[in-house]
Amino acid sequence: MNLAFVSLQAQAGGDNYSLLIMMVAIFAIMYFFMIRPQNKKQKEIQNFRKNLQVGQDVISAGGIYGKVKAIEDNVVVLEIASGVKIRIDKNSIYANAASTAAQQTNN
């Protein structure tokens, strides 16, 4: 009876390690497929905003297409139509309109 009891305890201990290994594997999979790509995309957008230049065609987070007319500290002046200028926060600039249009025509 003691041998059976020891055998059952050894098997239960192995289950704890396999559960731990599974949890680590799930976290690693989530990191490489969800967290890491999102961080990479955020860094690309941050670099784009930092290198923003006057005359560049951009898209805002709200979907407004425009041309950068002026850049202040955290404010960008966009010309969305002839003579129509709006001021938006620099953090709401999302993408380069020229590269987005090129990607859409390739698909």
Strand order in the sheet with 57-60: 84-89, 75-81, 65-71, 57-60, 93-96
Of the ranges 11-25, 32-46, 91-105, which is most confident? Answer: 32-46
Residue ranges of the domains in the chain? 1-51, 53-107
Q: Which fold has domain 53-107?
A: SH3 type barrels. (2.30.30)
pLDDT digits (tens, 9 = 90+) for 24-82: 999 999 999 999 999 999 999 899 989 999 999 999 988 999 999 999 988 999 999 99
Between the alpha carbon of residue 13 and those of residues 17, 22, 84, the distances in Å are: 7, 15, 70
pTM for the model stands at 0.63
